[in-house]
Amino acid sequence: MDSEFLLQLYNKQAKMIYYYLKKNGCSHEDAEDIVQESYMKYIAYSSGVSTNKALSYIFSISMNEFKRILKKKGKEQVMSITDERFWDNFSNDHDTESSVLTIEMNNEIVHTISQLQEVYKQLLLLKYELELSYKEIGLLLGMKEGTIKTYLFRARKEFQMNWRTLHE
């Protein structure tokens, strides 16, 4: 295995995987541990993986580790009132009503996305939250660019349908 290639891959992609995990509700410590563990597993088992599939292999390991941790801890996520964002909502200069409406809208979006297939959730998050290109998403997931476009189209349509159902 080429250590230069591994270092380059780590420098470019570790932050992206870390932010993806954070967006999915993973804690800072767990996200860092998962990224490290994923790269360690890749190093240990990379002999059977081609270099052009390395990123999708590492991403798959990361997602499996995240799912394992969620299963181990239980799927409940609790917001603490000492959370900085919680206090910011009450201490900022914005109108309290608009803050509450924004929080409700975010909750509705999360609820609508949670009803989608897992692959659609991943694609929407990678495209619109992390602002990755189709090519970058394809490299990350080990899929063709055309397949990514098709799945994203379907994901948007399903999201729209679920959103309309929620607001009827």
Q: Taking the domains of the chain in order of start, what are their residue ranges?
A: 3-73, 95-166
Averaged pLDDT, 30-58: 82
Burial 34-53 (b: 16+ CB within 10 A, else e): bbeebbebbeeebeeeeeee
What is the model's pTM? Answer: 0.62
pLDDT in tens, 53-93: 777 888 888 888 888 888 887 754 433 334 455 545 555 55
CATH no. of 95-166: 1.10.10.10
43: amino acid identity, one letter: I
What pLDDT is recorded for position 99?
Answer: 67
At 110, the pLDDT band (50, 70, 90 cuts) reads: confident
Averaged pLDDT, 149-157: 94
